[in-house]
Amino acid sequence: MLESERIAIAAHLHVQLRRVTGRVTDTEWMARNLEYADDVVRFARAAALEKGLDELAELAHRMDAAMQALRPAPKPVKAVPKVMPREEASVLSGLEARYVGRLR
């Protein structure tokens, strides 16, 4: 999503928050800074829930969705090594002892 679209959504959210709660926000900073946007969205959702305002909740959802592009990609999960049964481990330990320190 373009930054101008994020600023437009932030501006709509700003107007609603100002009208409903009296809270003043920085629209440009909200469109650029993920942490600030998350805090404003959290505040807007709480205010929407408290006062029963569907439009404010929808704007908070749109802002949250717009900020998804700035979120870092999740790190891949490392695979957990498979634990071998004891029988296989004893066979491997005999083979490993035979080949340790030697080339074949």
Q: What is residue 10's predicted lDDT score, i.e. its pLDDT?
A: 94
> What percent of the chain is predicted at pLDDT more than 90?
55
Tens digits of residue pLDDT in 65-87:
999 888 877 788 777 666 655 55
Q: What is the pLDDT of residue 72?
A: 79
Q: Point out the residues of the chain with pLDDT beneath 70.
A: 80-104
Question: Which residue has 């592009």 as its token pair?
Answer: 69
Whether the full predicted model's pTM is greater than 0.75, yes or no, is no
Q: Are 39 and 56 in contact (CB under 8 A)?
A: no
Average pLDDT, the chain: 82
Query: Hey, what amino acid is at 11?
Result: A
pLDDT at residue 2 in the model: 85
What is the rounded distance in angstroms from the CA atom of residue 6 to the CA atom of residue 12?
10
Helices 34-51 and 54-66 pack at an angle, to 10 degrees, of 160
* Per-domain boundaries in the chain: 3-70
